[in-house]
Amino acid sequence: MTNQKTKAMTVAQIETFFAALRAANPQPVTELEYTSVFELLAAVLLSAQATDVGVNKATRRLFPIANTPQKMVDLGLEALESYIQTIGLYHSKAKHLMQTSRILIDQHSGIVPRNREALEALPGVGRKTANVILNSAFGEATIAVDTHLFRLGNRTGLATGKTPLAVELALLKRIPQEFLVDAHHWLILHGRYVCTARSPNCKACAVSSVCQFDGKLG
128 is catalytic: yes
Catalytic option among 146, 203, 214, 216: 146
* Contact (Cβ atoms closer than 8 angstroms) between residue 25 and residue 189: yes
Sort 4 into a burial class: Cβ within 10 Å, 0-12 / 13-18 / 19+. Answer: exposed
80: Cβ contacts below 8 Å, ≥ 6 apart = 62, 66, 72, 94, 97, 98
Alpha-carbon span 123 to 50, nearest angstrom: 18
Catalytic option among 128, 173, 182, 214: 128
Sign of torsion over alpha carbons 130, 182, 189, 150: negative
Sort 100 into a burial class: Cβ within 10 Å, 0-12 / 13-18 / 19+. Answer: buried
Distance of CA 111 to the CA centre of its chain: 21
Alpha-carbon span 179 to 113, nearest angstrom: 25
Name the phi and psi angles at 132, rounded to 5. Answer: -60, -45
74 is catalytic: no
Listed residue (85, 83, 125) closest to 104, CA to CA: 125
Looking at the annotation, which residues are catalytic? 128, 146
